[in-house]
Amino acid sequence: MTDVRVGEDDVARCAWVGDDAEYRRYHDEEWGVPLHGDRPLFEKMSLEGFQAGLSWITILRKRPHFREVFAGFEPAAIAAFDETDVERLMQDAGIIRNRAKIDATISNARLMLDLQPGELDAFLWGFAPASASPRPRTFSDVPATTPESVAMSKALRKRGFRFVGPTTMYALMQSAGMVDDHVVGCWRAH
């Protein structure tokens, strides 16, 4: 099975993990584990937006610094960012310096202020499939989008959220445990 790789610790994992210790930890402890809470889901949505067009390991390695410069992804704090903050972030090599993605994160944080506590969590989880799909046997069985991720993207865009395309939202669904795409043979597949 080329889609599963046995690591130096003799544990079979999804092959995308490779040999990177942080990627291994992320796979084992976070990816596909149900995530709840408005702030954690806002962080995940923001980071998935920054990841668009890049590899997730790039974002994962930069995540501690992202958390630092984006005020722990507290929407109220980010909503108060101004042009000085945008310029500060554009000069920070510790994050992805993409103005459109930075602006989208700030804009999305401002939209979060209009939501009631728990509303983002309930809204996003409302798009989780009602029943589990068959376990993917290979990575070619894993879709880039699903009808649910397309619907989630459209609903978020209708509310004004940005950098929430269907592929990005499917990645969110995977990482937040709304779907479980650990392939057959991975120790996390159950």
Please give the positions annotated as active site: 26, 48, 56
Strand partners, 14: 4
Q: For every residue of 50-72, which 3-state class applies, written as one string?
A: HHCCCCHHHHHHHHHHHHHHCHH
Instruction: Count CB atoms within 10 A of the CB of residue 7.
Output: 16
Strand partners, 5: 13
In degrees and rounded to multiples of 5, residue 157 shows phi and psi of -65, -40
**3-class SS of residue 19:** coil
Provide DSSP, 133-160: PPPPSSGGGS-S--HHHHHHHHHHHHTT
Was 36 annotated as part of a binding site? no
Was 14 annotated as part of a binding site? yes
Was 190 annotated as part of a binding site? no
Was 27 annotated as part of a binding site? yes
| Feature table: binding site | 14, 27, 182, 186
| Feature table: binding site for Zn(2+) | 14, 27, 182, 186
